[in-house]
Structure 1
Amino acid sequence: MEENSQYLQRAVAKILSVLELPSLETFTDQNREISQVVSPKSVAERLQATIEPRLSRTAAMAMTREHSLEPEPSKIDDTLVSAPMGSLYEVTRLRNLRSNPNAKSGPRVVEDFISKGKVSEAEAEELFHIFSTSLNHYLWGGIALVHENLASVRQSSSLLLAAILSVTALHIPGRGKTFDVCYAELIALVCDSMFERYHVLDGIRGLCIGAFWLSDVSWKLSGHAVRIATELNLHQSYSRAIRGSQEHIEGARLWYFLYVCDHHFSIAYGRPPVIHENEIITHHERFLELPTITQADLRLHSQVALFLILTRVYNTFGADIQQTLSEESLVRLRHFNIDLDSWRIKWEPLLAPNRYVLSYPAKGVILHLNFGKLQVGALALRGMTHPSDLIPDRRELVGTAINCAMGILQMVLEDMDVRTSVVGVPIYLSTMITYSAVFLLKVHQKWGYFKIGTDPVLVRDLVTRIITLLTEVRAGERHLTGHIAVGLTKMLDRFTAWEEHEQSHAQHIPESRQGRDQTDQTGYDYPVDYSSFAWSGSELPFYDKNYLPIGFFDVLAPTFDVGNGDHR
């Protein structure tokens, strides 16, 4: 009988665990009621769900109450101005109305894809070491990782673990199988996290790490991370940290990290950012007055300051990529360029070299300055259909954009600290490189006849050298560098074919016609086959936004249609 009683107790404990009810010891004579009657069928379904694969689980809405004591009357006044859902939780005490604000660590017993033998512990240790001493420091000095060893990560968050190993395997040649295993695990964990009630900060960090490097899911992971962060009230951490709460400093730091992650991809995709520019963001430098601030914080907040400017550009001119800017708007663009110059003057001297990425922090400021000015100046061409609109102010802005695009490519090619970072820096640098190369090719093809652009020989040389660099760097086969090289090669080949066609065509135009064209540019009929920029047959279409986000600032996109036709 005693043995049967022990079996029964273990069975009941298992049922309570699966149903997320209090442990057996809490059911004393003074607390016998369970807030919800659960049918045997429901119990069976939930027990079965624990052994089924993730994708075949049957969901059931949990309406269980918290088993903690009701709040004391003296504490009720503190919640009078809480959000409406807070009042609903206070009355019902239903667990599914809130995330667990006290969840600070992951499961105590580690059971993950390493313990299951999908990835060996030795390989996981190797990948973690590479991430912590290299890739992690491109995320502004290590904001994304607060653990010193793999064991600590495994104890904290399987999602963070999967993100770190996936991203690292992506960068190492010959680790394709490991990447596939880790990536599949990451996606499964992300899917599970969508409906989990309790979250930890390391789960958010894992989502951000994935967003910064995994191009096909970057936008989705970024948005999911922001949603979880708001459930954990990280948007409230700043005000509490400023008031002296040490425990909220990390939450505020992570909120700024999310802001940058969100804006890296929203601006590039041409989509409205999720996190808005409220006092937390506009007054972000107050956070830097706290005594625990490091170089990592300075690097991160330089990005916050940058995206404050670029977001104003987006909000000012909207996402209508066919709207031509007025002369008044051109003046505003020049002011934004001045803001970007001021940003560089302020932040570049503050960013010290990093032992792992050398002087990349300060040089990254120059890259971002050039990319910001490229995006701003490119807007001057937006919606342009007639050469008569090429007034001097517009030409000046476009000229600045062209110089900045060339500056980005030259810096990537010639500065060793930047050149070696091509494999390592998050995909935003890949966007910079690709956008710069394509912008130069497009501008010359569309507007070169009207003396806008630069020497096509120089452009071709820069793009060719970029292709060579991206082809020669060592990375995993799924890394973007190889795909970009393939795409740019096809685009450059078609650009060259177009040039040869134009030169041949010009030789057969009568001199009288050439004279009319030069004196009356407004009547020029552009002999441009825009579909020649289509990447038919490419493994990675350039305009596949899952890989290379080109949105709001791709001002020439409507002109260069993407189809399946070859150059005619």
Structure 2
Amino acid sequence: MKRSACDADLDTPRPHERRPSFAPDGRPPPPKISKARACAECKRHKIRCEFKAGETNCTKCIRSGIKCVINDFSQKFVDDDVMWKSQASTTIQQLQAAVTQLLHQGGLPDLSTYSSGEGLSPVGSQERRLSSESPPNIKPNPPSLIMDVTREPSPEPDLQDRELVPAPMRSLYEVTKLRNLRNNAIEQPKVTLLEEDFISRGLISLQEAEDLFAYFSRTMNQLLWGGIILVHRNLTSVRRASTLLSAAVLTVAALHIPNRTATLNLCYGEYVSLVSSMSLTRAHTLDDIRALCVGAFWLSELSWKLSGHAVRIATELGLHQSYQKMMRGHNDQYERAQLWYLLYVCDHHFSIAYGRPPVIHEDAAIRNCEAFLRSPMVVPGDIRLLAQVALFMILTEAYRTFGSDTEQALTEGDFGQLRVYNVALDQWRLLWQPRSADSAYVRTYPSKGVVLHYHFAKFQLNSLSLRALSPTNTPVFSIDRKESANIAISSAMACLNMVLEEPDIRDAIVGVPIFTHTMVTFSAVFLLKAAVNWNSAYLSLDGRQVRRLVERVIELLNCVSAGERHLTRHIARGLGKMLERFDSWDTWQAGGPAVNGHGGGHGRPGEVSRSGSEVPGGANAMAQGFPPPDLIYDMVGTYGFGLDENFLDPSMASFEFLAQ
């Protein structure tokens, strides 16, 4: 059917009814911007501005002989818009490249995986909210300093939940939904990139790192219960698992090898830096806990801090519940339960030995350690570890009974309980020494180590008999007190003799944890002090024998192969200084010059010294106002001997500042 002219005329839009033309996708086209080029003179007279072909000035301006100035604001707007968009596009590309590099360095997903707008993190949205609410000229805190009190979307509390008595903080979280009130289980440890750790950065060479790792694996790792603290077989595995653990291993190894001071300083600084940076994070692994334990066992100036930090992280990861889960048939909990036992020993090495209460108490896992040993996954190192657990259970009970107050002397009624603990230690040795099998790496050290720790414990426990007693006002020694004090003396001498006479103990003296070094030192200091403060009228103690024994310990520690900053070096120097003061004190007591550089007798009134002169005053010399030399003071038997890295050698104090 043909359309009439009227119909066609109806379809033609009038000027005021002009219909917009649409793009193929249905969207209206952007509005067109006029590009008028009227000059300023023509606009002023409101006339048409005409240009002839080839002319740059309009007809009126040529006729008037004036300069033709184009005043096209719309064109200027278009030009500026194009320039701004070009600059913005370049800036966005630069920002994308920078963000991509930062995400790669942080081990985070690519930029394309992040959604825009609604996918921002709570910290980012909170920062925008704070920015909009902040007064003018006041900048909001950076994201790292903003307290995260955001709420998490999660199901409402189930009132029909059968678990009526969960942890109180869990109930609080269920009600408030505040993220910072709980351990965020969603947060995962950052994947360690080999290309970004301190070895790849060139802090130390890969070959040197391999040598240090091999040394740690075959020595210190074997001495510490058969290698259960380091389960990785090569350096690459450790680096992938935990940069903190690799730094700990290399630091401890460099500490033990001569002429590695420069490497030690570098590794120590990296280790301290990593520990500091992880102190407030929640993303941890079992290898991070092992790294803290490695530092605690061998770095004396950090041991107390590291052991406590390791225990707190372990409880956040639920290691204190792993034993119960393992007993219910979850064999995947074996490694976690084993690590909890290791933490118990580490905690007690650096708590009751220093007169401080331990953090880990004797829970079901500790009390039932024998049940753990019935697992088919148990290795010989577990037996050695659980022997230590059983020993410290006895010492912890004694600590709670007698306390650590150095001014509280034991009463006569306390010696009955002290005998009970002595019997418990005897039974402990009879049980665990036969169970500790020899090792291909450390030979008879496992069983001989049980005997050594037995003497440590007997000495530490029985030294309490002399606690808070002053030689200036000598008490009447009861049979029980004298018996206990003499047990302490004989046990201290047995400790030193084992270190000197047993080949496998002597060969291992460098690589053992610092608890052993500390107890050897305590034994030597105890004997020197006892020889000065108490004469043989009260205790069975030969001053000449003590002096020779300590002298041999110093010779041994000076001869061992160890790094310049190893604890044995400082112990040898400190004991040497104390032995010089002991000689001065012994000479002064004898009232004449020393024989062969040694002192006189024991200080008994009327006793003839080795120089042939009678000893004036003897044990009553201090009561007559003669002060003893430095470091020969404070009666022993504190049960918490207070030996730190500065006690014997003040130069140790500078070690902790190496990384600063």
Report TM bin, short chain.
0.7 to 0.9
Number of corresponding residues = 530
Q: 1:75 to 1:430 in 2, by over 3 A?
A: farther
Q: 1:32 to 1:76 in 2, by over 3 A?
A: farther
- The answer to whether the 8 A contact 2:323-2:333 is kept is yes
Q: TM-score, normalised by structure 1?
A: 0.83
Q: 1:449 to 1:350 in 2, by over 3 A?
A: closer
- Looking at structure 1, the residues matched to 130 and 191 of structure 2 have their Cα atoms a distance apart, in angstroms, of 25
- Looking at structure 2, the residues matched to 397 and 436 of structure 1 have their Cα atoms a distance apart, in angstroms, of 15
Q: 1:334 to 1:97 in 2, by over 3 A?
A: same
Q: Give the equivalent residue in structure 2 for 1:122.
A: 207
> SS at the partner of 2:351?
helix
Choose from 209, 216, 226 the match for 1:131.
Answer: 216
Q: Give the equivalent residue in structure 2 for 1:53.
A: none
Q: 1:3 to 1:522 in 2, by over 3 A?
A: closer
Q: 1:105 to 1:475 in 2, by over 3 A?
A: same
The code of the aligned residue for 1:433 comes to V
Choose from 340, 362, 368 the match for 1:255.
Answer: 340
- The answer to whether the 8 A contact 1:99-1:199 is kept is no
Q: Give the equivalent residue in structure 2 for 1:452.
A: 539
- Looking at structure 2, the residues matched to 271 and 555 of structure 1 have their Cα atoms a distance apart, in angstroms, of 10
> What's the offset of the Cα at 1:82?
2.6
Q: Give the equivalent residue in structure 2 for 1:148.
A: 233
The code of the aligned residue for 2:336 comes to G
> What's the offset of the Cα at 1:492?
1.1
- The answer to whether the 8 A contact 1:269-1:551 is kept is no
The code of the aligned residue for 2:234 comes to N
- Looking at structure 2, the residues matched to 251 and 509 of structure 1 have their Cα atoms a distance apart, in angstroms, of 57
Q: Give the equivalent residue in structure 2 for 1:402.
A: 489
Whether 2:127 is the aligned partner of 1:39: answer yes
- Looking at structure 1, the residues matched to 503 and 366 of structure 2 have their Cα atoms a distance apart, in angstroms, of 34
- Looking at structure 1, the residues matched to 198 and 463 of structure 2 have their Cα atoms a distance apart, in angstroms, of 47
Choose from 536, 550, 554 the match for 1:463.
Answer: 550
> What's the offset of the Cα at 1:309?
0.4
Choose from 148, 160, 168 the match for 1:84.
Answer: 168
Whether 2:509 is the aligned partner of 1:422: answer yes
CA deviations 1:249-299 (Å, max 9, x no partner) are 211111111110000010111100011122221222221122211111111
Choose from 102, 107, 130 the match for 2:191.
Answer: 107
CA deviations 1:226-270 (Å, max 9, x no partner) are 111111111111111111112222111111111100000101111
Q: 1:279 to 1:480 in 2, by over 3 A?
A: same
- The answer to whether the 8 A contact 2:107-2:190 is kept is no
Q: 1:141 to 1:105 in 2, by over 3 A?
A: farther
Q: 1:350 to 1:106 in 2, by over 3 A?
A: farther
Q: 1:528 to 1:285 in 2, by over 3 A?
A: farther
Unaligned stretches of 5+ residues in structure 1: 44-56, 513-517, 536-541, 544-548, 564-568
Question: Is the deviation greater in 279-288 or in 315-324?
Answer: 279-288
Q: TM-score, normalised by structure 2?
A: 0.72
Whether 2:365 is the aligned partner of 1:280: answer yes
Choose from 340, 348, 367 the match for 2:433.
Answer: 348
The code of the aligned residue for 1:273 comes to P
- Looking at structure 2, the residues matched to 446 and 315 of structure 1 have their Cα atoms a distance apart, in angstroms, of 28
Q: 1:509 to 1:553 in 2, by over 3 A?
A: closer
Structure label with greater radius of gyration: 2
Q: 1:531 to 1:231 in 2, by over 3 A?
A: farther
Choose from 305, 315, 319 the match for 1:220.
Answer: 305
- The answer to whether the 8 A contact 1:446-1:528 is kept is no
- The answer to whether the 8 A contact 1:382-1:555 is kept is no
- Looking at structure 2, the residues matched to 90 and 20 of structure 1 have their Cα atoms a distance apart, in angstroms, of 30
- Looking at structure 1, the residues matched to 202 and 252 of structure 2 have their Cα atoms a distance apart, in angstroms, of 19
Question: Is the deviation greater in 92-101 or in 8-17?
Answer: 8-17
> Relative contact order, CA 8 A, sep 6+: which one is greater?
1
Q: 1:467 to 1:144 in 2, by over 3 A?
A: same
> What's the offset of the Cα at 1:493?
1.3
> What's the offset of the Cα at 1:310?
0.4
- Looking at structure 2, the residues matched to 73 and 392 of structure 1 have their Cα atoms a distance apart, in angstroms, of 66
- Looking at structure 1, the residues matched to 180 and 114 of structure 2 have their Cα atoms a distance apart, in angstroms, of 21
Equivalent positions of 1:18-417 (< 5 A) are 25=113, 27=115, 35=122, 37-39=125-127, 59-61=144-146, 63=148, 70=154, 77=161, 80-91=164-175, 95-99=179-183, 101=185, 106-110=190-194, 111-385=196-470, 386-417=473-504
Unaligned stretches of 5+ residues in structure 2: 1-85, 132-141, 593-599, 608-614, 651-660
- Looking at structure 2, the residues matched to 265 and 162 of structure 1 have their Cα atoms a distance apart, in angstroms, of 22
Q: 1:82 to 1:345 in 2, by over 3 A?
A: same
- The answer to whether the 8 A contact 2:354-2:643 is kept is no
> What's the offset of the Cα at 1:86?
2.3
Q: 1:101 to 1:344 in 2, by over 3 A?
A: farther
CA deviations 1:49-100 (Å, max 9, x no partner) are xxxxxxxx99424528698x84598898376533122234445555544445
> What's the offset of the Cα at 1:150?
0.7
> What's the offset of the Cα at 1:8?
6.3
The code of the aligned residue for 1:77 comes to D
Q: Give the equivalent residue in structure 1 for 2:45.
A: none
- Looking at structure 1, the residues matched to 561 and 302 of structure 2 have their Cα atoms a distance apart, in angstroms, of 23
- Looking at structure 2, the residues matched to 431 and 556 of structure 1 have their Cα atoms a distance apart, in angstroms, of 7
> SS at the partner of 2:498?
helix
Say which structure is richer in helix: 1
CA deviations 1:514-561 (Å, max 9, x no partner) are xxxx9x9998864685541339xxxxxx99xxxxx996344999xx9x
Q: 1:198 to 1:446 in 2, by over 3 A?
A: same
Q: 1:202 to 1:509 in 2, by over 3 A?
A: closer
Q: CA RMSD in A?
A: 4.0
> What's the offset of the Cα at 1:376?
1.2
> What's the offset of the Cα at 1:143?
1.9
> SS at the partner of 1:77?
coil
> What's the offset of the Cα at 1:197?
1.9
- The answer to whether the 8 A contact 1:374-1:404 is kept is yes
Identity of aligned residues (%): 46
Q: Give the equivalent residue in structure 2 for 1:532.
A: 629
The code of the aligned residue for 2:483 comes to E
- Looking at structure 2, the residues matched to 76 and 214 of structure 1 have their Cα atoms a distance apart, in angstroms, of 51
The code of the aligned residue for 2:212 comes to L
> What's the offset of the Cα at 1:382?
1.1
The code of the aligned residue for 2:113 comes to E
> SS at the partner of 1:180?
helix
Question: Is the deviation greater in 524-533 or in 360-369?
Answer: 524-533
